[in-house]
Amino acid sequence: MTKAEPARIKTEAPREEPPRRSVWQLQDAKAKFSEVFRLARTEGPQIITRQGKDAVVMLSLEQYDQLVNRSRQPKSLMQFFQESPLVGLELEFERSKEMSRDIKL
């Protein structure tokens, strides 16, 4: 006769919770502006609704700067190269003098 094995409990590593986002009705956000401001700086973006629909988000300046810097992309490939940190450096490139390799088609 075999002994019954104890039930194994599956444990998971604690999950890191995303920043707390609070949703505020406009009139509540106005009445508690200081609290909304503090939470935006300490807890993360605060959503303010108007007539039951998401209207605006209050977030810290640091989060705003990250958002703006990440989304800034050059308008064209030419602008990308013009704004490159390598502009003005003299780079010397030398082409290999080896013959190209044969490729079976």
Per-residue pLDDT tens digits for 9-50: 555 555 555 455 689 999 999 999 999 999 999 999 999 999
Computed over every residue of the chain, the mean pLDDT equals 81
Cβ distance 22 to 48 under 8 Å?
no
Is 29 buried (19+), middle (13-18) or exposed (0-12) by CB count in 10 A? buried
pLDDT reported for residue 97: 81
Read off the CATH number of the domain in which 35 is found: 3.40.1620.10
Report if residue 95 sits inside a domain: no
Domain that includes residue 36, residue range: 22-72
**Model pTM?**
0.49
How far apart, in whole angstroms, are the C-alpha atoms of residue 60 and residue 67? 11
State the maximum Cα–Cα separation within the chain, in Å, rounded to a whole number.
83
pLDDT reported for residue 43: 93
Of the two residues 70 and 80, the one the predictor is more confident about is: 80
How many domains does the chain contain in total?
1
pLDDT reported for residue 9: 56
In the structure encoding, which two tokens stand for residue 38, read together?
């503090």
Q: Find residue 4's DSSP bridge partners.
A: none
